Amino acid sequence: MSYKSIRARFFRSLVTTMTLVLAVSFLAFSQISIDIADAMLVSDNPVFHRILLQSGYDILPDDVSLSASPKQRWIVVLSLLVCVVGIINAQLMSVTERFREIGTMKCLGALDRFIVRIFVMEASMQGFAGSVTGAFVGGIAACSGAIFRFGTDILPIFPWQDILSTSALAIGTGIGLSLLGVLYPAIMAARMQPVEAMRVEQ
């Protein structure tokens, strides 16, 4: 059922999903870039160390891992924040648009739980699609960026495992954000009195 209503409002869902794609891909990109730089650092290859220094990373002699600069972290957090706000806005719109539909369902005996479930399921589908795409796009961008910057020499030391786990984390974050964004609109929809919902003109 949720799938259908996504299809019916395909374009709008696409916009919501795109917000997620962008935010998650940014998150994945920055994290995976760090993963790769980490791997280069750990590889103990002086050539890599020099390249890293050249490309602007600050390495102290006894560092074993690099971390994102505070500024970079801020940007990631901000992008995620903007994404949540965007999702809340989009879902609120979709609730208002479906006032009558929700009212009808409540008249027919739908429990509050059911209404919440519809919206949560819709959001998790969008969240999943958006996050997976986002993580994929971000991962590809980070990897190809690294190859472009550091040359193909880094391929043997590519930290595949780290990249995968980082992507998984980014996907999880994306789905979490999507659910977080839908919670308030869904609860608002479920709490609505059917009479009030029916009174709204279409």
Partner 1 sequence: MNREMIIKQIVRVTGVTKDFDLGKIVVNVLKGIDLEIETGKYVSIMGPSGSGKSTLFNMIGGLDKPTEGKVFIDEVDIAQLDAYELAWLRCRKIGYIFQTFNLIPVMTALENVTLPMTFAGVPGDTAISRGMELLAQVGLEGRHAHKPAELSGGQQQRVAVARALANTPSIILADEPTGNLDLKTGEEIISLLKQMSEEQGVTVISATHDYKMLNVSDQVIWIRDGRVDKIQDRDELEIHTGGMSS
CA distances from 201 to 19, 83, 99, 101, 196 (A): 30, 31, 9, 12, 10
Tokens, residue 51: 């390249």
Give CA–CA dist 71/58, Å, rounded. Answer: 14
Candidates 180, 141, 168, 123; CA nearest to 22 is 141
Nearer to partner 1, 111 or 155 (CB): 111
What does the radius of gyration of the chain's CA atoms come to, in whole angstroms? 22
Give min distance, CB of 193 to partner 1, in A.
8
Give min distance, CB of 41 to partner 1, in A.
53
Nearer to partner 1, 5 or 43 (CB): 5
Give min distance, CB of 114 to partner 1, in A.
7
Nearer to partner 1, 44 or 201 (CB): 201
Nearer to partner 1, 125 or 137 (CB): 125
Nearer to partner 1, 21 or 186 (CB): 186
Give min distance, CB of 101 to partner 1, in A.
6
Provide the binding-site residues for partner 1, judged by CB under 8 A: 1, 4-5, 7-8, 100-101, 103-112, 114, 193-195, 198, 202
Give min distance, CB of 111 to partner 1, in A.
5
For the chain, how far is it from start to end, CA to CA, in angstroms?
22
Asked if 119 and 185 count as a contact pair (C-beta separation under 8 A), the reply is yes
